[in-house]
Amino acid sequence: MNKVLVTGNLGYIGTVLSALLVDAGYDVVGIDTDFYEDCAFQRDLPDVLTIKKDIRNIVVQDLDQIDTIIHLAALSNDPLGNLNPGLTYGINYRSTIRLAELAKKAGVSRFIFSSSCSNYGAAGDDYLDENAPFNPVTAYGESKVLAERELSKMANDTFSPVILRNATAYGYSPKMRFDLVVNNLTAWAVATGKIYLKSDGTPWRPLVHVEDISRAFLAVLEAPREIVHNEAFNVGQTSENYRIRDVAEIVAEVLPDCEVSFAPEAGPDIRNYRVNCDKIQQKLPSFQPKWTVKKGVEELQEIFNVAKLRPEEFEGPRYKRILHIQNLLDSGELDSSLRWKVYQKA
């Protein structure tokens, strides 16, 4: 049986992906420092053996008998990446390359890296395929670009890196996030009757459900080596590119009693990109996305209604990565390098 290590298995994508891999019959092991232990939306976490360890502390023995690594662990978005850009480069870039070097030493044959379409950054309104130039505008995006470039150089006859550039995620996860645009707009609509835009709504974004992201990783895991070796794939559907104001209109269609409002500081966002995702569906026909933004909003509406979601919950630190990490820093549980201090998990 193929033994798969998922780093960041306790996160927003990782909990969904791990469950999918277990259902597909894989032997799954996780590594996660568990920053977000207290941030579960629901406690239906997959039953996966998890090593509680910071990815900066991984040693080659942790990779014993691992066939494939799916590397999700990172400081996970632009605001968190901007908290300390030096740490972002250290964790998202240098620790990724260090892990890949250990993986080569341990005989891991495939290394699937979770990158991001935010690499394209400020790119205008044209559709971008995998050969488009990078123009990252945040430390998070820059760290992913650097990691991609170094990983590509490491490819050889025994070590096969694969890059998945995920579109902006949305949808239900046991480790729910509300700092993602579809999740956030739907939460505001359900809880307050207002669709609350924090930008002027003009930027383009490719959007993809967290389950479809997970299906993309599974498709790469199961693909023949010659199809995916040292390849990059945009993850999503070309038809699922939207302006943020389009997303607001979809939410209003699902919840017609809501009104659109703008935050006082709402203004233009320089992050603007449309992404062509045809390559992944041509090269990996087993990747069959099942979600659209409208279906995702309908899913979230039902879940949020059942949960009786309130604004103080989804706008607070439990479900927003930057606020939660800042709380851990302020309380002294994490030191300035984002390592556990008060109680040691790894």
If you average pLDDT over every residue of the chain, what do you get?
91
Task: Check residues 342 and 323 and name the one with the higher pLDDT.
Answer: 323
Confidence of residue 133 (pLDDT cuts 50, 70, 90): very high
At 147, the pLDDT band (50, 70, 90 cuts) reads very high
Q: Using 50, 70 and 90 to split pLDDT, how confident is the model at 28? A: very high
Query: Which residues sit opposite 340 in a β-bridge?
Result: 334
pLDDT band of 95, cuts 50, 70, 90: very high
**pLDDT of 262 over the 90 cut:** no
pLDDT value of position 345:
46
**For residue 19, what are its two tokens?**
């469950």
What pLDDT, on the 0 to 100 scale, is given for residue 346? 42
For 177-182, what is the mean pLDDT? 92
Strongest mean pLDDT among 28-42, 139-153, 195-209, 248-262: 139-153
Task: Lowest mean pLDDT of 123-137, 211-225, 264-278, name the range.
Answer: 264-278
- Domain layout of the chain by residue ranges: 3-330
List C-alpha distances in Å: 216 to 21, 141, 155, 204, 268. Answer: 11, 20, 21, 22, 31
Query: What three-state secondary structure class fits 4?
Result: strand
* Whether pLDDT at 343 is above 60: no
Between CA 267 and CA 262 the distance in angstroms is 9
110 - beta bridge partners? 68, 160
Check: CB of residue 73 under 8 Å from CB of residue 31.
Answer: yes
pLDDT at residue 40 tops 90: no
> What is the model's pTM?
0.94
In SS3 terms, 301-340 reads as HHHHHHHCCCHHHHCCCCCCHHHHHHHHHHCCCECCCCCE
pLDDT average, residue stretch 78-83: 69
Reference 240, options 181, 184, 305, 286; nearest CA is: 181
- The CATH H-level (homologous superfamily) assignment of domain 3-330 is NAD(P)-binding Rossmann-like Domain (3.40.50.720)
Q: In sequence order, what are the residues at sequence separation of 6 or more whose Cβ sits closer than 8 angstroms to the Cβ of residue 92?
A: 74, 75, 81, 140, 143, 144, 147
278-329 confidence digits (pLDDT tens) = 999 999 999 999 999 999 999 999 999 999 999 888 888 888 888 888 999 9
Q: Inform me whether the pLDDT recorded for 4 exceeds 90.
A: yes
Report pLDDT for 231: 98
Poorest-pLDDT segment among 101-105, 161-165, 325-329: 325-329
What pLDDT score was predicted for residue 268? 67
Give yes or no for a contact between 231 and 283, defined as CB atoms under 8 angstroms apart.
yes
| Percent of residues, the chain, with pLDDT higher than 90 | 74
Question: Residues 210, 211, 215, 221: is their CA dihedral positive or negative?
Answer: positive
Residues 139, 81: contact at Cβ < 8 Å? yes
Question: Concatenated DSSP letters for 39-94?
Answer: G-SSS-----EEEE--GGG--GGGGTT--EEEE--S--SHHHHHH-HHHHIIIIII
By three-state DSSP, how is residue 283 classified? helix
Higher local confidence (pLDDT), 152 or 320? 152
Q: Cα–Cα distance between 142 and 154 in angstroms, integer?
A: 19
Q: What does the pLDDT average to over 108-118?
A: 96
